[in-house]
């Protein structure tokens, strides 16, 4: 799967100066860009029950939010409005191919490609995100303003479902046309307003919360620890004040906790966390049985599902494969196969046949079927 297009960007300079630091506008980042889905096709996709979509409308001085699925009547509005459709890359291969534009960033960091359509004046209001995003302009034009850095203490409007800024301090302004791209790091206030009808492709990046990582790490650590291991304080100093927890006691506690952390066993918790899918991917028993039969008998190719979260980690002994929030160990011999699947998103012809003839490679493909990461043709 290929976009046939490349991102015109100095990658090393971008990573050194802009990534997670400050916005960057790239004029004609994708020269001759042809949007892979039209506004009409996007509107039709939002009719589907399984597709996550919403409309934000600015009417009578207030912001209004509605969730899909929608119908034609929902698009007949007099006030400015915007349709946002989440994870369009899960349904349209050509949209999924846009992720290749940012393949110099770790694949496990990519979340999805959201596509929005707006009428003239349409907007989602001034806000900030907690993740990195590349905003690639499709049809038409959109004017973006960027502002202050925000955090959890930044005042928001009193709204039951939208996180809109109470104060927007405009610092820069850009008018994006087809093929232009604006990168925004986490926390930067931004406000986009359509000038005429337009579409925007938002390539978003996931960032796990620190508290989620601590929780997963602690769970993995507790599972590997000896339950009858206790705090110890041999050669303790005499206590001179009744009831006191002394500084030296706390130092001893911290030293023992740090020693326990250094002994952490399994480290698959992180890969499982960052590959958890937003939407259910597991095939039912009948579909899995049919796919297995096809894979081992008449299948001509396997393709990584656009919705799949697939990653791997090379350890000292083997390779950990993370597939839609699950994990399994294989020998390091499978790294070439995994690299091919993650890079080309498919396996065909002699490569597929060779993989099926190798018992462990065949087992890996079967595992990826089980977890909903691949499908067979």
Distance CA 117, CA 194 (A): 9
Q: Which helix (H) or strand (E) holds 281?
A: none
What's residue 1's pLDDT?
45
Domain count, the chain: 3
Please check whether residue 3 lies inside any domain of the structure. no
With bands split at pLDDT 50, 70 and 90, how would you rate the model's confidence at 264? low
End position of a domain, from candidates 187, 205, 223:
205
Residue that wins the pLDDT comparison between 96 and 298: 96
Residue 321 and residue 282 in one domain: yes
Structural domain harbouring 323: 272-376
The two three-digit tokens of residue 136, written as one number: 């690639």
Query: What is the per-residue pLDDT across 307-333, written as a single tens digit (0 to 9) for each?
Result: 999 999 999 889 999 999 999 999 999
- Contact indicator for 373, 307 with CB cutoff of 8 Å: no
Find the farthest-apart pair of alpha carbons in the chain and give their distance in angstroms, rounded. Answer: 80
Residue 141 and residue 165 in one domain: yes
Residue 121 and residue 35 in one domain: yes
Distance CA 169, CA 154 (A): 12
Residue 356 and residue 295 in one domain: yes
Please check whether residue 282 lies inside any domain of the structure. yes
Taking 80 as the threshold, does the pLDDT of residue 15 lie above it? Answer: yes
- CATH number of 369's domain: 3.40.366.30
Please check whether residue 168 lies inside any domain of the structure. yes
Taking 90 as the threshold, does the pLDDT of residue 34 lie above it? Answer: yes
DSSP category for residue 165? B
Please check whether residue 1 lies inside any domain of the structure. no
Query: What is the per-residue pLDDT across 114-124, written as a single tens digit (0 to 9) for each?
Result: 999 999 999 99
Residue 191 and residue 224 in one domain: no
Taking 80 as the threshold, does the pLDDT of residue 48 lie above it? Answer: yes
β-bridge pairing 81-85 and 181-184:
unpaired
Please check whether residue 182 lies inside any domain of the structure. yes
What's residue 265's pLDDT?
65
Residue 297 and residue 357 in one domain: yes
- Contact indicator for 272, 215 with CB cutoff of 8 Å: no
Please check whether residue 58 lies inside any domain of the structure. yes
Distance CA 222, CA 218 (A): 6
Residue 225 and residue 280 in one domain: no
Residue 216 and residue 349 in one domain: no
Taking 80 as the threshold, does the pLDDT of residue 78 lie above it? Answer: yes
CB atoms within 10 A of CB 23: 17
Distance CA 374, CA 310 (A): 10
What's residue 191's pLDDT?
98
Residue 65 and residue 199 in one domain: yes
What's residue 227's pLDDT?
86
Residue 327 and residue 371 in one domain: yes
Distance CA 223, CA 219 (A): 6
With bands split at pLDDT 50, 70 and 90, how would you rate the model's confidence at 2? very low
Query: What is the per-residue pLDDT across 192-249, written as a single tens digit (0 to 9) for each?
Result: 999 999 999 999 998 999 999 999 999 888 888 888 889 999 999 999 999 999 999 9
Distance CA 339, CA 363 (A): 16
Query: What is the per-residue pLDDT across 93-110, written as a single tens digit (0 to 9) for each?
Result: 999 999 999 999 999 999
Taking 80 as the threshold, does the pLDDT of residue 266 lie above it? Answer: no
Instruction: Provide the β-strand partners of residue 114.
Output: 202
pLDDT more than 70, % of the chain: 98
- CATH number of 19's domain: 2.60.120.650
Average pLDDT over the chain reads 94
Residue that wins the pLDDT comparison between 180 and 299: 180
Residue 163 and residue 229 in one domain: no
What's residue 311's pLDDT?
97
Residue 261 and residue 282 in one domain: no
């Amino acid at each position: 799967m290929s976009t046939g297009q490349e991102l015109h960007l100095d990658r090393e300079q971008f990573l050194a100066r802009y990534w997670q630091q400050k916005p960057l506008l790239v004029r004609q980042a994708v020269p001759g860009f042809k949007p892979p889905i039209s506004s009409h096709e996007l509107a039709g996709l939002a009719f589907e029950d399984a597709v996550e979509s919403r409309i934000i409308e600015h009417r009578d001085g207030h912001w209004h939010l509605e969730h899909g699925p929608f119908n034609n009547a929902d698009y007949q509005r007099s006030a400015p409005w915007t349709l946002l459709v989440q994870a369009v890359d899960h349904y349209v291969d050509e949209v999924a191919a846009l992720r290749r534009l940012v393949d110099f960033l770790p694949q496990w960091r990519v979340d999805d490609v959201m596509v929005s359509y707006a009428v003239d004046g349409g907007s989602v209001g001034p806000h900030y995100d907690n993740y990195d995003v590349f905003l690639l302009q499709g049809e038409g034009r959109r004017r973006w303003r960027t502002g202050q850095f925000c955090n959890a203490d930044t005042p928001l409007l009193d709204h039951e479902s939208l996180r809109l800024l109470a104060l927007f301090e405009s610092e820069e302004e850009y008018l994006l046309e087809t093929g232009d791209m604006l990168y925004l790091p986490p926390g930067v206030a931004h406000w986009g307003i359509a000038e005429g009808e337009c579409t925007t492709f938002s390539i978003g990046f996931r960032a796990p919360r620190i508290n989620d990582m601590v929780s997963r790490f602690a769970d993995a650590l507790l599972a590997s620890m000896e339950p009858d291991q206790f705090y110890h304080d041999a050669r303790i100093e005499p206590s001179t004040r009744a009831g006191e927890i002394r500084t030296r006691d706390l130092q001893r506690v911290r030293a023992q906790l740090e020693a326990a952390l250094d002994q952490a066993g399994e480290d698959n918790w992180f890969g499982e966390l960052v590959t958890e899918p937003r939407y259910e991917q597991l095939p039912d028993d009948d579909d899995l049985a049919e796919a297995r039969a096809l894979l081992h008998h008449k299948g001509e190719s396997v393709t990584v599902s656009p919705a799949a979260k697939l990653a791997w980690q090379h350890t000292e002994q083997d390779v950990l494969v993370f597939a839609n929030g699950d994990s399994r160990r294989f020998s390091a011999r499978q790294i070439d196969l995994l690299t091919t699947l993650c890079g080309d998103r498919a396996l065909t012809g002699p490569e597929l046949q060779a993989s099926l003839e190798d018992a462990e490679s065949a087992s890996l493909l079967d595992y990826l079927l089980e977890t909903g990461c691949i499908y067979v043709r």
